[in-house]
Chain A
Amino acid sequence: MTWQEEQAAFWHWIVDTPGSAAPTEAEKLMAPHQQLSVNDALGIYQNAYRGRLLQAASELYPVTYYTLGDAAHQQLWLGYLEKHPPKPGPMSQLGAYLLTYCRQHDPYRGLPALLELIALETRLVELFENPDLPHYSREQLQNNPAEDWAKLSWTDTGDWTLMEVDFDLETYWLKIQDYRKQPGAKPGGADFPVPAFTDQHPRHLLIRRQNYKMHFQQVSPTFAGFISLLKEGKNFAELCEYLSQHDSETDVPAKSLNYLLQAIDLELLHQQTIRA
């Protein structure tokens, strides 16, 4: 047997084989052990592999973990990892396909609140390690001559995104955080549901990083549309045009400026360009 064949067999036992390894085959490859059977020794590697990944998953998806509890968390992740074994690269990419997997598999695809939680935590993980770009400031905006304003457009910092939600993840998040501080709190132990929006939905969540910390908050549909267009690189005239279509009652240039300043204060913008 070549080393590559030995590795393939070892890999199969610890990664692919559910439950315990196949002792007879393994014993052909592994030297007899002091006080531990070959099967138990392989089990140490198998447990280490699974334990490390489950631990990382609970840290990357803490609210999903606290919602599911240990047994369901383990069932979800072991099922997912069987279909999507980890690829080289940062551990933070472990759940890169989790949402897709859950949308395709029972019972997860029938649990819309869980799917939203997973979508949110996936985005939090993705944005967390994006490059740090300097923020565009109010001063930079004010330095523009009046004749350039209509042509101004911006690139964004790359550390924020928008998400449409049917559930009040903000409220649920805070309740889970409070629950975790209680004595005796344990994953799966919280008895409150993820509240659904009953009136107007979907709602828009702005997910962003500030001072190396992740935040998310609800924003109005109009503001969500405005900053989406900002992200697309639309210029100020086009942004005003958008607002006039959505809210013709108000002073459109003043509201556009107000929204633009909000975007600057939320540190969403990186640089300006002049585009006719």
Chain B
Amino acid sequence: MLGFGLGLRSPHYDQVLNQQPTEVDWFEVITENFLAPGGRPRAILRQVREHYPIVLHGLSFNIGSDEAPDYAYLDKLRDLAREIEPAWISDHICWTGLHGHTSHDLLPISYNQETLSLVADKVSRIQDYLEQSVVLENPSMYLQFQSADMTEADFINALTKQTGCRLLLDVNNVYVSSFNLGLDPYREINAIAPESVQQFHLAGHTHNTTHIIDTHDHPVSDPVWALYQHACQRFGKTATLLERDDDIPEMTELIKELDHARQLQARALQELS
């Protein structure tokens, strides 16, 4: 188990390299920022990798689209993975683009049998090409399609079973989607097959009374901490990653939050035993 990690972001590069904080067990990086073989980002990543395990977390698999996998992207990813030897490679259960264009954003999939077979096929092709299984994250949702007739959990369980991919369970995203779609986040977590979960994400969001937006610009909220503790009880010891993408504070602040996650997981495991 990797332990408790942080998303590696540029304001913290110097501190990570100079001080090598021991409170952080591993780092997750946004794959797309490190694909270029030259330049500062790749050089930084090489140095960070000397001291920490790395997970590559990308946004470009576009698994919800029936367009062919982006092999140019996958080639670069394969080169990066050969060099960095990540603990695993992850991406998102979503689609990002259409007709040769990309939104650079995570767009929602209608959960039904038609999309399941399309997504499963695409995931299998990507895994075959990369010669490894991948880890996929549940996104934040703001609406559902009329054509959806499966729950997200059923869709994910079928996908992981059919393809051998694993789940990056973003606990904050479960909370955000559940609030926005009027679901019970605990029921959503309980419906996920326990053996499918590889990793957790934790992050902050923005609550706008009528809806919640997944902004990654705040500390983790109390209801998400409670849901995380529940997830730890259900899924056991699981690698956990704290994401922060905006209003990025000093790393000591993030380390405090990470320690809280560590304590909650330990408590949950203790209660289990």
A residues in contact with B104, CB < 8 Å: 49, 52-53, 56, 86, 91
Are B213 and A44 interface neighbours, CB within 8 A? yes
Report yes or no: B39 in contact with A7, Cβ–Cβ below 8 A.
no
Q: Which one, B32, B41, B105, contacts A45 given CB within 8 A? A: B105
Known contacts A44-B142, A91-B32; A6/B101 CB under 8 A: no
**Which of B103, B147, B213 gathers the greatest number of chain A CB atoms within 10 Å?**
B103
B211 within 8 A of partner (CB): yes
Contact (Cβ within 8 A) B38 A129: yes
Give the docked Cα–Cα distance between A35 and B104 (Å). 27
Q: Does B110 contact A (CB under 8 A)?
A: yes
Interface 9-residue window, one of A26-34, A65-73, A231-239: A26-34
**Is B172 positioned at the interface, with any CB of A under 8 Å from its CB?**
no
**Cβ contacts under 8 Å, B105 to chain A:** 45, 48-49, 52
A15 CB-CB contact with B under 8 Å: yes
Q: Does B102 contact A (CB under 8 A)?
A: yes
Query: With A36-B142, A41-B143 as given contacts, are A11 and B39 in contact (CB-CB < 8 Å)?
Result: no
Inter-subunit contact A3/B114 (CB<8 Å): yes
CA distance A11 to B98 in the complex (A): 8
For residue A56, which residues in chain B have a CB less than 8 angstroms away from its CB?
104
Closest residue of chain A to B183, judged by CB?
A: A34
Q: Which residues of A contact B142 (CB under 8 A)?
A: 33, 36, 41, 44-45
Query: CB-CB < 8 A to B17: which residues of A?
Result: none
B180 near A130 (CB under 8 angstroms)?
A: no
Residues of B within 8 A of A45 (CB): 105, 107-108, 142
* A11 partner residues in chain B, CB cutoff 8 A: 98-99, 103, 107
Q: A145 on the interface (CB 8 Å rule)?
A: no
What A residues does B97 contact at CB under 8 A? Answer: 88
B155 to nearest A CB, angstroms?
13
Q: State how many angstroms separate the Cβ of B243 from the closest Cβ of chain A.
A: 15
Number of interface residues of B (CB under 8 A): 48
Choose among A31, A86, A92, A159 the residue that contacts B148 (Cβ–Cβ < 8 A): A31
Cα(A90)–Cα(B108), bound, Å = 22
A3 touches which one: B37, B99, B110 (CB < 8 A)? Answer: B110
Does B184 have its Cβ within 8 Å of any Cβ on chain A?
no
The number of inter-chain residue pairs (CB within 8 angstroms) is 129
Contact at A131–B103, with CB atoms within 8 Å?
Answer: no
A90 CA to B103 CA in the complex, in Å?
Answer: 12
Give every chain A residue within 8 A of B110 (Cβ-Cβ).
3, 6
For B15-44 the 0/1 string (1 means CB < 8 A from A) is 000000000000000001101111111010
**Closest approach, in angstroms, between the C-beta of A65 and any C-beta of chain B?**
17
Q: A36 contacts B210, CB within 8 Å?
A: yes
| B100, CB-defined interface residue at 8 Å | yes
Q: A1-B147, A3-B114, A131-B37 are in contact. Are A87 and B98 (CB under 8 A)?
A: no
**Distance between Cα atoms of A130 and B137 in the complex (Å):** 31
Say which residue of B62, B100, B115, B144 sits within 8 Å of A30 (CB atoms): B144
Distance of A36 Cα from B36 Cα, bound (Å): 41
Among residues of B, the one whose C-beta sits closest to the C-beta of A59 is: B10
Kindly identify, within residues 63 to 118 of chain B, every residue whose CB is under 8 Å from any CB belonging to chain A.
Answer: 64-66, 70, 72-73, 95, 97-105, 107-108, 110, 114-115, 118
Contact B146 A86 (CB under 8 A): no
B103 & A15 in contact (Cβ 8 Å cutoff): yes
Contact of A28 among B35, B103, B118, B146 (CB under 8 A): B146
Tell me, rounded to whole Å, the shortest Cβ–Cβ distance linking B211 to chain A: 5
Please report the C-alpha to C-alpha distance between residue A91 and residue B41 in the assembled complex, in whole angstroms: 14
With A and B bound together, what is the CA distance between A45 and B60 in angstroms? 17
Q: A44 touching B98 by the CB < 8 A rule? A: no
A29 near B146: Cβ-Cβ < 8 Å = yes
Contact with A along B43-68 (1 / 0, CB 8 A): 10000000000000000101011100
Q: What residues on B are CB-neighbors of A192 within 8 Å?
A: none
Tell yes or no: B181 within 8 A of A by CB: yes
Minimum distance in angstroms from B64 CB to a CB of chain A: 8
Q: Which of B39, B60, B98 has the most CB of A within 10 A?
A: B39
Contact of B32 with A90 in the complex, beta carbons under 8 Å: yes
A31 near B118 with CB under 8 A, answer no
Residue picked from B38, B60, B73, B147, most chain A C-beta under 10 Å: B38
Q: How far is the CA of A92 from the CA of B114 in the complex (A)?
A: 35
- How far is B254's CA from A3's CA once the two chains are assembled, in angstroms? 40
Q: Is the pair B102, A90 in contact by a Cβ cutoff of 8 Å?
A: no
- The smallest beta-carbon distance between B80 and chain A, in angstroms, is 12
List 10 A-B pairs, minimum CB-CB distance, nearest first. A129-B36, A212-B40, A131-B38, A41-B143, A35-B210, A31-B144, A129-B39, A34-B182, A85-B101, A132-B38
Report which B residues bind A (CB closer than 8 A). 32-33, 35-41, 43, 60, 62, 64-66, 70, 72-73, 95, 97-105, 107-108, 110, 114-115, 118, 142-148, 179-182, 210-211, 213
Q: A6-B147, A7-B107, A131-B38 are in contact. List 4 more A-B contacts (CB 8 A).
A: A2-B114, A7-B64, A33-B180, A132-B39
The 9 listed contacts between A and B (C-beta, < 8 Å) are A11-B98, A34-B211, A88-B60, A88-B101, A129-B41, A131-B37, A132-B37, A132-B38, A132-B43
